[in-house]
Amino acid sequence: MAASSEVMPASSESIVLRLFEVDAVKFGDFTLKSGITSPVYFDLRVMISFPQLMTDVANLLWDKISASKFISLCGVPYTALPIATLMSASHNIPMLIRRKEAKGYGTKKLIEGIFRTGDVCLIVEDVVSSGSSVLDTAEALKSVGVLVTDAVVLLDREQGGRQKLQQEGITLHSVFTMTDILTILKGAGKLDSQTVDKVACYIEHNRFQPDQTVCSLKPKVYDYEERAKLCTNSVTRRLLEIMGEKRSNLALSADVTTSQELLQLVDKVGPHVCIVKTHIDILEDFTQETVTKLSQLAARHNFLIFEDRKFADIGNTVLHQFGGGMYNISSWAHIINAHGVPGPGVVHGLREVGASKGCGCLLIAEMSSAGNLATGDYTTATVSMAEANKDFVIGFISVNNLTSDPTFIHMTPGVQLTAGQDSLGQQYLTPSEVITNRGSDIIIVGRGIYEAKDPVEAAKQFQLAGYDAFVARLTEFMTS
């Protein structure tokens, strides 16, 4: 671990001790958003209850950057906002505020405050791990023409954020590194050597790669058969077994509009996929015979059927939408999906119908389309909802790996052999980006297959690319 490069002013030490006393720095076992267990946790939000401490922290941050050139400052929401406010008021430097979401009414501003194109703004942050929060704020400022060359942070966790930011042209000034915190707390008798070693070891082994914006903390990677044995949910187990048997992590999104096209496509492509995903309500000529034949193809070619109905209503309504009506989805789909927006009632309603029929549900935690709102706290809350309903929720629609729990499946739509975007906001990533780099399990491919000149050849290509990407992730894990 890198040692701190500068001598710290005397007051720095007392501030670390006070942060420790108010539980802003905690040691133990903490599950992070990524699902990884960390032996150290920083919750600097508590500082707002200790105004003197917050003022002292703001002063320390200011001392770090007085040499940098900027004409405004902007705190990363939310923890750093009051700190930035104190710095702004004490030194008479104008402040900008970045909205986490642009307002849907009025002026629709992403950045509040007065600025001109070419202004240089300093970013203020409490803790930097991967650097992605600072980068998000820098991007938002850049989108309105404001430049960012420097960021100041109270704590650099030494997990690669500094390097990542440097790569993007932002110099990080940190008051403390994780090493400083450990040294001070150990010196003051607050931590024993065992804890210090444990944290040092954790940091050493959990660095973010500078070329990635998402968490690259890699949990154990299982092969499909090994992972199937860990699953108690019969749908997840069966799916992983199929993935192992067929060497396929490919889901066909069969978004065609007639029953004949659907059944012909599925019959040809079926041998190469682990899942066929339908939007049954886009068929012009749906009859029960369509799904009877689809189920026969599922048995013949050994895949599961996923109806992409995206349920999003109160429990009582989704119960009827899933369990009856013209499509009677629960009678033929192995997997369905739902938005978490209505709260856990949506899962409970679907479970009432689906659990006894051996159906599993995916929650839509992230989406592939540009500007979608399933991000940040919403995504985190969706993962919690899944964890609370593990008997029925089998995983996520997402574009990143959201939990290290191997019994949850991640399925990612928006996949083509080359990255890009369609004219309606769909964003495409490649199989290797999705499976190797982002740690998802299944690629969902629609137009990349059914619009290809030869859908079978295209499916084979995606099957190979997806499986190779999985083997690359497995190999990387085994050799790291």
Please identify, using beta-carbon distances, which residue of 182 and 449 lies nearer to ligand S5P: 449
What is the rounded (10 degree) CA torsion for 237, 253, 435, 394?
A: -30
Site residues for ligand S5P, 209-268, by CB under 6 A, read 253, 255
C-alpha 65/C-alpha 124 separation (Å) is 10
Which residue's beta carbon is nearest to the bound ligand S5P?
446
* Residues 275-314 as x/- pattern, contact with ligand S5P by CB under 6 A: ----x----------------------------x------
Active site residue 308: yes
Query: Is residue 466 a contact residue for ligand S5P (CB under 6 A)?
Result: no
Query: Is residue 354 a contact residue for ligand S5P (CB under 6 A)?
Result: no
C-alpha 431/C-alpha 465 separation (Å) is 6
Active site residue 310: yes
Please identify, using beta-carbon distances, which residue of 79 and 398 lies nearer to ligand S5P: 398
* CB neighbours of residue 45 within 10 Å: 12
Sequence-ordered alpha helix ranges (H) in 249-364 = 259-269, 288-301, 315-323, 345-354
Encoded amino acid at 298, one letter: A
The annotation status of 277 as a binding-site residue, yes or no, is yes
Site residues for ligand S5P, 376-415, by CB under 6 A, read 397, 413-414
* Residues 120-149 as x/- pattern, contact with ligand S5P by CB under 6 A: ------------------------------
Residues 6+ apart with CB under 8 A from 446: 252, 253, 254, 255, 413
* Residues 436-465 as x/- pattern, contact with ligand S5P by CB under 6 A: --------xxxxx-----------------
Let me know if 216 is exposed, middle or buried by CB neighbors in 10 A (0-12, 13-18, 19+): buried
Q: What is the CA radius of gyration of the chain?
A: 25
Site residues for ligand S5P, 63-122, by CB under 6 A, read none
Active site residue 156: no
Kindly state the DSSP code that residue 15 receives in the 8-state scheme. H
Please identify, using beta-carbon distances, which residue of 182 and 458 lies nearer to ligand S5P: 458
Q: Minimal CA–CA distance to 16: which of 181, 206, 227?
A: 181
Q: Choose the catalytic residue: 310, 390, 405, 460.
A: 310
**Torsion sign (Cα): 350, 352, 353, 358:** positive
- Residues 29, 30, 32: CA angle, nearest 5 degrees: 145
Q: Minimal CA–CA distance to 200: which of 182, 175, 186, 185?
A: 182
Q: First-to-last CA distance in the chain?
A: 18
Q: Considering CB under 6 A, how many residues would be counted as binding ligand S5P? A: 16
Please identify, using beta-carbon distances, which residue of 119 and 433 lies nearer to ligand S5P: 433
Give the long-range contacts of residues 325-328, CB within 8 A, separation 24 or more. Answer: 326/286, 327/280, 327/281, 327/286, 327/291, 328/288
Please identify, using beta-carbon distances, which residue of 19 and 442 lies nearer to ligand S5P: 442
Q: Choose the catalytic residue: 136, 313, 405, 468.
A: 313
Considering only the stretches 79-87, 240-248, 353-361, 365-373, report the one whose residues sit in contact with ligand S5P under the rule CB under 6 A: 365-373
- Residues belonging to the active site: 308, 310, 313
Task: Name the binding residues.
Answer: 255, 277, 368, 426, 446-447
Which residues are at the interface with ligand S5P (CB under 6 A)?
A: 253, 255, 279, 308, 367-369, 397, 413-414, 426, 444-448
Task: Name the binding residues for substrate.
Answer: 255, 277, 368, 426, 446-447
